[in-house]
Amino acid sequence: IIRVEGPLNGQTSPDFEDYIDEIIKRNIFFVLFDIRELDYVSSEGIGVLLLVQQKISERNGYVVFFNVSDEMESFFSLLGFDKVFRIADGRAEAIEILDRQIELRQEIIKEQAELKSKEPTEQSTGKTKVERSNEEVISLQVNELEVTHQETDPNAAVKNYVAETYG
């Protein structure tokens, strides 16, 4: 949980971004921001918040803001950032949201491992033929697609799933 105090503007944004970069270097990708005491956000501050959101999302992480003042919530809503940032009412809800996101990612990883372990029944010219139900054919096709993605980006399937689900 990161508590943000004071303004987030041209003077403070570089330090804030550096701090987040350090957190990411320590492999922390699930972050709660308590912004109860954030009293001002400039355009540069908004830019750094968006950048932080992007950096963490690229690593399959998740960001939740909580204790958002009415003024800040109106500001986020006016700019459309309520659709970009996940905002919780309080700490307990923020933790619950983050826990659920971690669970979802663990389920996806488990499903991928199960799909990867399935052996195709017959191969012909590089395509898998299955004499079973449509569901298994779909699973094997998804498995082949995911394996292709995993060769270039091991987290692509999770990113795609999250983008499609929460996009």
Instruction: Note whether 33 and 64 are within 8 A (CB).
Output: yes
Per the structure block, which two tokens stand in for 53?
């959101």
What is the distance between the alpha carbons of residues 36 and 3, in angstroms, rounded to a whole number?
8
Helix, coil or strand: residue 14: helix
Residue predicted with more confidence, 4 or 113: 4
Helix, coil or strand: residue 166: helix
E strand or H helix at 32: strand 30-41
Q: How confident is the model at residue 112 (pLDDT cuts 50, 70, 90)?
A: confident
Q: Amino acid identity of 48?
A: V
Please report, rounded to a whole number, the percentage of residues in the chain having pLDDT higher than 90: 49
Q: CA geometry: angle at 97 spanning 94 and 102, to 5°?
A: 125
Residue predicted with more confidence, 63 or 134: 63
Instruction: Name which of 78, 41, 84 is nearest 65 in CA terms.
Output: 84
pLDDT of residue 166: 54
Helix, coil or strand: residue 65: strand
Residue predicted with more confidence, 70 or 163: 70
Q: Please spell the DSSP secondary structure of 84-144, one letter per residue.
A: TSEEESSHHHHHHHHHHHHHHHHHHHHHHHHHHHPPPSEEETTEEE--S-HHHHHHHHHHH
Region 75-93: what's the mean pLDDT? Answer: 90
pLDDT of residue 111: 86
